[in-house]
Structure 1
Amino acid sequence: MMVAYKKPHPQPQSSWSDLPLDIVGLVLSLLPEYADRAVFAAVCPHWRAAARQQLVPPPLPLLALPDGTFYSILYPRLYSFPGCGFAGYESVCGSWLVFPRDDGCFLVNPFSRATVTLPALSCVRLRPPNAVAKWSLEDGSKVADPYITWMHINTSEKLHISKLIPCSPNLVAALVGIGHTSQILLCQPGASSWSVRAYDQCKGFEDMAFYQGKLYAIANDENLLVVNISQDHSTGDPQVSRIGQIIKGEPWYPVVLEDNTMPCKKLYLVESHGALLMVRRAIWCRVPGPGVPGEVIAGVSRFEVFKADFEHSWWVKVSTMGDDQVLFLGRRCSRAMSVSQYGLSGDYIFFLDDDEENRTDYCYDKENTSFSAYDMRSSSVLPACPSIFWKCCDEMRLAAWLFPEDR
């Protein structure tokens, strides 16, 4: 007797695109590196659409080096943007690379390929328009009177942008100056000129931040300043209407101690958990003894973090940033990020040796440097990554954090 055999129906083959959207989003949220997310989105159209739609925490920043190379920092590896060459950038702001040129300043987003055009530094609208530099004679020498203004520095060949912030689609702010002296300039993307208050005193601005819809700046005296912005009635362009003091700092300045050490400081402004923080970095330097020739050599760094108390107009020292917060500090761009979702420990500060040659009072005893991490809990610096390094004080083109955008 013959038994009929019924061939089973073939099971449908599973596909990556069949993975439920919530599972896809969970996988994506666990990827801390931009490079991994880019590979994720390339798997299939379904995953690429999910990568655009899912609300996921931002990826960790890339490290942009002076030679135009980019590195992931969690798993140190060289990162490239296919088809793009960005070796000529001179600064970084958020997701943008900055290319100053004689005919304008160009911002390029290497992730989205978007571009923004800003005016050249030679095109500045003065307020008042007839402003001139004022001088006086002291001991036969010409000095700025009564203090240094934009009119005293605007023709220098060393004039450059030390900080650039795209505050909104209609507002860009910049710290522009020479050495320790700079001024705040504003413009609208695509405009023909910057705007500056010509007779305002130039200051030793350390940093600037756009926080809760307002522009803030801090100088080496640790005073927090708010920059009030209005519109030019004739052109509609943004302009500084007033710079007012919000918090009076209690600064300290370099003093040589008995053991021939001297703390030099750098200040940063960064937003974290809705608060505006001032981070004070003390760089402990070795100083030659009395009558001994030599240079001031930079040593270990220590950090103190302060929160702006706007109600009482003072800085409040904080001992921790929280177990999920990490600060990425740099002269060009700083940012706080939550990292607990990536299984990483918080309460760390990642920082760069990114001093411009004409803004430092010390030298380095080594030719190369790298990024380092400061543990807030133990007040100690962790060793730098040996596979990522660059030359110290590479003038006008510094290492910087580059923060990817997922959208």
Structure 2
Amino acid sequence: MSPPPPLRKEAAPDWAALPPELLALVAGRLRHSVDYVRFRSVCSRWRAAARRIPFPPLLALPFDPDASALPFFDPSEIASSAAIRSLPLPEARHQALLGSSRGWLFLIDEAGSVSLLNPFTRARFCLPPVTETLARASSLSVSKVRDRWVLDHRNGKQPVTLYHMRSTFISEATLSSTPSEGDECAVIIVAVLASSTKLAFCRIGDREWTLFNTALHNFVSSVAYCDGRFYAVDAFGEVCACDVGISTRATYISSLMLPPERDSFRIMGLKKELLLVAHYMDGDFPHFKHHYEIYRTDIKRRMKWYRVDTIASRTVFLSVHFNSNAIGGAFYGCKSNAMYFSEPIRGGREPSRSQIHKMAVMDVTNGCLEVISCNCIVQFSREVFWFTPCLY
């Protein structure tokens, strides 16, 4: 009996040969930034078919320096079991996160080395390391012992651990533009120091940070970039414009003249305008009531601030303990005329214990607040922040 004929091997489908119209249709149905990146990475034809889509910011959950992945929550998939995902970040092992700007993460290790990392494209740039000068600008005295920083305290020397790098050197930073291959040296990075009226800046490729004075009388709490200038706001709501470059200078601009009970401010830039978010509380302990007010100014006019009770189709994403904020519009799955907070709005920080993390969404017009569970157990002593996917 003759053996059966060998089975014919079917040729593998040529996925790159799919019609561009079909690829564009599939790409247009992608709702998650991670899926979009995977689609674009197949080949050049798939990448060309994927038009640019505005994805909402993602909520970075506590990062374990001993792990190799960053967990995050997608606000557009609140009702989905896939709302919690993770990005592989082996480059970030044994480092702490200093927040995010334009989708890039700021990293620092215990030796004080600072870098920029795009968690999606994995591009990375080294920035100048921290120094004693940066700590002195926050009235702190530090020294280096065996490649590790120690804080000179009245009770002796205390090691500066990863968790304390933000409160000792750089608390966060802001980019003037998105770093791209070929012109990354044009990007300016302005760093907010731990507790200082000064700021520090550098360019990619610089060897050290450059300090400069602001025109503010209190500690800088937030910095934004808008139309060629950096804008800084202090703890009392005073704002200054900073021209950073060959001749760096800061100019005080009109204050909001708010009542003194406003206790925190965040500034955000969007094309030709600035938004300032002010927070205050009223009522008696422990039944505080929290209020958020939004002010707007057109930087091309007289910089006159006025309060707004609607942001129309836009959405604001506010990090409670970071300057990693974002504003945009028409995000799939997200509410418009709303503020998304990185965590519930309360009078103080949560106790240091593990529990289910929650975020909050507030209607800008009526102030109604909705608390949403992220279905993820986190350690509240480690802070969370928003970051906008930078996919190109």
Q: Which TM class, normalised by the smaller chain length?
A: 0.7 to 0.9
Q: Shift in Å at residue 207 of structure 1?
A: 0.7
**Letter aligned with residue 36 of structure 1:** D
Residues 25 and 86 of structure 1: is their aligned pair in 2 closer, same or farther, counting only changes over 3 Å? farther
**Letter aligned with residue 28 of structure 1:** A
Q: Does 1:108 align with 2:117?
A: yes
Q: Shift in Å at residue 32 of structure 1?
A: 3.3
Question: Does the CA contact (< 8 Å) of 2:218 and 2:236 recur in 1?
Answer: no
After TM superposition, the structure 1 = structure 2 runs for residues 204-223 of structure 1, keeping only pairs within 5 Å, are: 204-223=219-238
Q: Does 1:155 align with 2:155?
A: no
Q: Shift in Å at residue 186 of structure 1?
A: 1.1
Q: Does 1:269 align with 2:267?
A: yes
Q: Does 1:384 align with 2:372?
A: yes
CA distance in 1, matches of 2:330, 2:88: 25
Match of 1:183 in 2: 198
CA distance in 1, matches of 2:289, 2:15: 50
After TM superposition, the structure 1 = structure 2 runs for residues 36-55 of structure 1, keeping only pairs within 5 Å, are: 36-41=35-40, 46-51=45-50, 54=51
CA distance in 2, matches of 1:286, 1:31: 47
Question: Does the CA contact (< 8 Å) of 1:31 and 1:59 recur in 2?
Answer: no
Question: Does the CA contact (< 8 Å) of 2:215 and 2:252 recur in 1?
Answer: no
Match of 1:350 in 2: 340
Q: Shift in Å at residue 23 of structure 1?
A: 4.9
User: Alpha-carbon deviations, 1:186-214, whole Å to 9, x = none?
Assistant: 11222221111379776222210010111
**Among 43, 62, 69, which residue is 1:66 paired with?**
62
Residues 223 and 103 of structure 1: is their aligned pair in 2 closer, same or farther, counting only changes over 3 Å? closer
Q: Shift in Å at residue 283 of structure 1?
A: 4.6
Q: Does 1:172 align with 2:158?
A: no
**Letter aligned with residue 198 of structure 2:** Q
Over the residues paired in the alignment, what is the CA RMSD in angstroms?
Answer: 3.4
For the residue of structure 2 that corresponds to 1:40, the secondary structure is helix
Q: Shift in Å at residue 353 of structure 1?
A: 3.8
**Letter aligned with residue 339 of structure 2:** I
Match of 1:4 in 2: none
User: Which range is displaced more, 56-65 or 18-27?
Assistant: 18-27
What is the aligned residue count? Answer: 333
Residues 167 and 123 of structure 1: is their aligned pair in 2 closer, same or farther, counting only changes over 3 Å? farther
CA distance in 1, matches of 2:380, 2:197: 22
Q: Shift in Å at residue 63 of structure 1?
A: 1.8
**Letter aligned with residue 390 of structure 1:** V
Question: Does the CA contact (< 8 Å) of 2:270 and 2:327 recur in 1?
Answer: yes
Residues 272 and 177 of structure 1: is their aligned pair in 2 closer, same or farther, counting only changes over 3 Å? same
Identity of aligned residues (%): 18
Q: Shift in Å at residue 222 of structure 1?
A: 1.6
Q: Shift in Å at residue 249 of structure 1?
A: 1.6
Q: Shift in Å at residue 173 of structure 1?
A: 0.5
Match of 1:333 in 2: 324
Match of 1:294 in 2: none
Question: Does the CA contact (< 8 Å) of 1:272 and 1:336 recur in 2?
Answer: yes
CA distance in 1, matches of 2:32, 2:289: 29
Match of 2:128 in 1: 119
CA distance in 1, matches of 2:326, 2:222: 12
CA distance in 2, matches of 1:354, 1:120: 34
Question: Does the CA contact (< 8 Å) of 1:209 and 1:215 recur in 2?
Answer: yes
**Letter aligned with residue 100 of structure 1:** I
Residues 373 and 79 of structure 1: is their aligned pair in 2 closer, same or farther, counting only changes over 3 Å? same
**Letter aligned with residue 59 of structure 1:** F
Match of 1:370 in 2: 358
Question: Does the CA contact (< 8 Å) of 1:58 and 1:405 recur in 2?
Answer: no
Task: Tell me which structure has the larger Cα radius of gyration.
Answer: 1
For the residue of structure 2 that corresponds to 1:48, the secondary structure is helix
CA distance in 2, matches of 1:64, 1:383: 17
Question: Does the CA contact (< 8 Å) of 1:123 and 1:193 recur in 2?
Answer: no
Q: Does 1:279 align with 2:277?
A: yes
**Letter aligned with residue 336 of structure 1:** I
Unaligned 5+ runs, structure 2: 1-11, 65-69, 78-82, 143-150, 152-166, 178-183
Question: Does the CA contact (< 8 Å) of 1:370 and 1:390 recur in 2?
Answer: no
CA distance in 2, matches of 1:265, 1:32: 37
**Letter aligned with residue 400 of structure 1:** F
Q: Shift in Å at residue 389 of structure 1?
A: 4.9
Residues 336 and 250 of structure 1: is their aligned pair in 2 closer, same or farther, counting only changes over 3 Å? same
CA distance in 2, matches of 1:22, 1:281: 48
**Among 79, 90, 111, which residue is 2:86 paired with?**
79
Q: Shift in Å at residue 336 of structure 1?
A: 1.0
**Letter aligned with residue 254 of structure 2:** I
Residues 354 and 253 of structure 1: is their aligned pair in 2 closer, same or farther, counting only changes over 3 Å? farther
